[in-house]
Structure 1
């Protein structure tokens, strides 16, 4: 694979191993609101999508309106859990430090959550000033808007960018943006056969399950 001009990382499940924590808190919030979903169902419906998109899906497909107060409570509990439990993806710091190309983060999460996640895991200094959130664009993943916005802001053409993503929604967004995409299946949420089959079905350019393998991919 030719070396990209810009590497765009998703955050949750790619830089930080946050998805199991997020899923646990989301399922508890939905159960309190009267909607009981299995972890697999929640993963399928919501993984990689913004909070705004999640609310739209809940209203459209499940007839559930989650109040702002309930979301505020979930966010408070989530941030407390992050402070107690959140870990970086193994090998991510060394991989970032060895990258020859510039990089940034483009995540469906809100800016304050991205910053908190990266500060807790010691990664913030590597991304400060190059953080892009779905709150900055009209349409979140699987639309290409966020990746195109990040590339434009940093002065790169889409074809010159490589995206590292863990979710089907993120992979589809990268492909729709005309960018190459490495699917990462090394997060603790991504071990199931169903998840890996969903990722493989989208035919990303490469699939890796260890973050240092990204360096091997870029080395050709």
Structure 2
């Protein structure tokens, strides 16, 4: 029997393996504006952040102003890349199929991005009516608002839920909301999650026993 009553999944890097794709687009576009960053830099500074926060950081890296079309172009280019290359996180489908308690997804991305990536990876049918986007409430992690909204809508208190996250920003948001949080460390290259997460795991095979 699970010690939790509800699981709240982050999307990028937890359900879908989108982080290498979206961050590479961000690196390419930033370097086209005169910066000189790599994927490791993007993981360190952009992962888990709102797009607006990323753009603010990029503004400090380049000479001149960011084009007003940057955000729209980023969405277009990343969506093209998703459609060609995105895959589900290894093992996540088995986890979801075998969950015996309610679950949902709460992400910093816009709802159309969440739905696109879940559809492309065969996961959308499991989350269809339980998708919570920061864009809907205009509050982004590390503010815990999206997790609190998800828990309340699902009918549970934070203490009854566990959040699955892969970024320090997401982990901190969950902790701030009063949630237990399992940190997924498969791409935690700087070993940052274990200092605040309730527990950590490096493969989806190991997640069920934490629930």
Which category describes the TM-score, using the shorter chain as reference length?
A: over 0.9
1:101 is matched with which residue?
101
Deviation, structure 1 residue 71: 2.1
Compute the TM-score of the two structures, normalised by the length of structure 1. Answer: 0.89
2:48 is matched with which residue?
48
SS in 2 for 1:136: helix
Compute the TM-score of the two structures, normalised by the length of structure 2. Answer: 0.92
Counterparts of 2:65 and 2:115 in 1: how far apart (Å)?
28
Gaps of 5+ in 1: none
SS in 2 for 1:199: coil
1:91 is matched with which residue?
91
Could you list the runs of 4 or more consecutive aligned residues of structure 1 that deviate by over 4 angstroms after TM superposition?
61-65
Counterparts of 2:188 and 2:48 in 1: how far apart (Å)?
16
Residues 58 and 65 in structure 1, CA contact (< 8 A), matched pair in contact too: no
1:210 is matched with which residue?
203
Cα RMSD (Å) of the superposition?
Answer: 1.8
SS in 1 for 2:69: helix
- Which has the larger helix fraction? 1
1:37 is matched with which residue?
37
Deviation, structure 1 residue 191: 5.5
Counterparts of 2:57 and 2:4 in 1: how far apart (Å)?
34
Kindly provide the CA deviation profile for residues 154-181 of structure 1, in whole angstroms up to 9, marking residues without a partner as x.
2211111100000000000000000000
SS in 1 for 2:142: coil
Counterparts of 2:65 and 2:136 in 1: how far apart (Å)?
24
Counterparts of 2:136 and 2:167 in 1: how far apart (Å)?
20
Residues 1:72 and 1:212: Cα distance change in structure 2 (over 3 Å): same
Kindly provide the CA deviation profile for residues 117-159 of structure 1, in whole angstroms up to 9, marking residues without a partner as x.
0000000000001001110223211111111111112221111
Kindly provide the CA deviation profile for residues 49-87 of structure 1, in whole angstroms up to 9, marking residues without a partner as x.
12123233444x547753341222221121111111100
Residues 164 and 183 in structure 1, CA contact (< 8 A), matched pair in contact too: yes
Residues 1:4 and 1:67: Cα distance change in structure 2 (over 3 Å): farther
Q: How does 1:23-172 map to 2 (within 5 A)?
A: 23-59=23-59, 61-62=60-61, 65-172=65-172
Matched pairs, number:
210
